[in-house]
Amino acid sequence: MAEEILPGDTVAHGTVADADQREWVTLTVNGSRQSGYVDARMTLADFLRRDLGLTGTRLGCEHGSCGACTVIVDHDKAVRSCLMLAVQAQGLAVETVESLAADGQLSPLQSAFREFHAVQCGFCTSGFLMSLTARLREGPILTREQAREALSGNICRCTGYAGMVEAVVSVSRAAEGAA
């Protein structure tokens, strides 16, 4: 059953499937309402990438282990978008990496990643930024041990994580200092 399309909605193209394998889904992505038909089996990750053109969320393993696909759901939960069906996001609010830089300005976390050389190939970066953004909403990360724990749900094959540890701690300390 199609839901009503409201003015200002963005409607996804969707994929073609048999009617009983197709679902109408409405969710909020980066603050905007999105609606569309999706294959019931389509993952949230593929929906974001293909149907909404938000390619910042990446596919590294498609079985929930590497974290490259991490997004934030309902403000405080970092989740693997490859382990959610798009239809399961019905009515939820999803944030992707594209939402972090406001008005073209890098967020403090993004700037710190650059400052401390926490990015090399960049493929894992979106997932790390979303995991960390969710974690930082719970409270600051002030020690290296806390940082390593916060980073442990994502895999990077390029940087060895050291720059990320420094970036994360510096962001929290700066925020504490400014507070």
Partner 1 sequence: MTSPDLARASERLVGTRMRRREDERLLTGRAQFLDDLDFAGYYEAAVLRSPHAAARIRGIDTTAASAASGVVAVYTAQDLGPILHDLPPKVTHPNLNRQTRLPIATDRVRYVGEPVAVVIADTRYLAEDAAELIDVDYEPLPAVASTGQALAAGAALVHEGSESNVAVHIVQQAGDPDTALLAAPHVVTETFVVTRGGGHSMEGRAIAARFEPATGQLTVWDATQTPHYVRQMLAVLYGMTEDEIRLIAPADIGGGFGPKAQFYGEEAIIPWIAMQLGAPVKWIEDRWENFVSATMERAQTHRVQVGFDDEGHLLVLKDVFEHDQGAYCVGLQVPTITMSTLPGPYRIPHIHSELIACYTNMVPTSSLRGAGRPQAVVAMERMMDRVAERLGLEPDEVRRRNLIQPGDFPYAVGLLFRDGSPLTYDSGDYPALLDEAARRIDIAEFRVEQARARTEGRLLGLGFGMFVEGSGLGPYEGARVRLTNGGRILVLLAASPQGQGYETVYAQLAADAIGVSIDLIEVRHGDTALVPFGQGTFASRVTATAGPAVWDACRQLRGDLAAAGASMLGVPLDEVEVTGPGVRVSWAPRRALTLREIAAVTNVGRHGMSLPDDLPVAIERTAYFKPRRAVYSSGIHAVIVEVDAETGKVAVVRSVLGHDCGTMLNPLLVEGQMLGGYAHGIGNALYEEAVYGPDGQPQAASYLDYALPTALEVDRPELFHVESPSPLNPLGVKGAGEGGLIPVPAAIANAVEDALRPFGARITQLPVTPSRVIGALRGQDGA
Partner 2 sequence: MKPSPLTYHRPESLAEAMALLSEYGDEAKVIAGGQSLMPMLAFRLIAPRHLVDIGRVTELAGYRLDDRELSVRARVSQRDLERAPDVGFAFPVLHEAIANVAHVQIRNRGTVCGSLAHADPAAEMPATMVALDATMVARSAAGRRMIPAAEFFQFHLTSALEPDEILTEVRIPRQPAVGAFLEISRRKGDFALVGAAVVAQFEDDRVSSCRIVCSGVGPVPFRAYAAERVVLGTTLQDEAVMDARRWAGDGMDVADDFHASADYRRQVAGVLVWRCLLKIRKERGAVHG
Give the residues lining the site for partner 2 (CB under 8 A): 17-18, 20-21, 23, 39-41, 43, 46, 62-64, 67, 70, 73, 77-80, 82-85, 87-88, 90, 131, 135, 152-153
30 DSSP assignment: T
65 DSSP assignment: S
> In a 10 Å sphere around its CB, with 0-12 CB exposed, 13-18 middle and 19+ buried, how is residue 8 labelled?
exposed
- Nearest to partner 2 of 8, 75 (CB atom): 75
CB of 9 to partner 2, least distance (A): 21
Q: Strands 93-95, 70-73: parallel, antiparallel or unpaired by DSSP?
A: antiparallel
For helices 144-151 and 125-138, give the axis angle rounded to 10 degrees: 120
CB of 6 to partner 1, least distance (A): 26
Q: Is 163 helix (H, G, I), strand (E, B) or coil?
A: helix
Binding site for partner 1 (CB under 8 A): 15-16, 39, 41-42, 49, 54-63, 65-66, 68, 96-98, 100-101, 106, 110, 113-115, 117, 119-126, 129, 147-149, 151-165
100 touches, from partner 2, partner 1, none (C-beta below 5 to 8 Å by class): partner 1
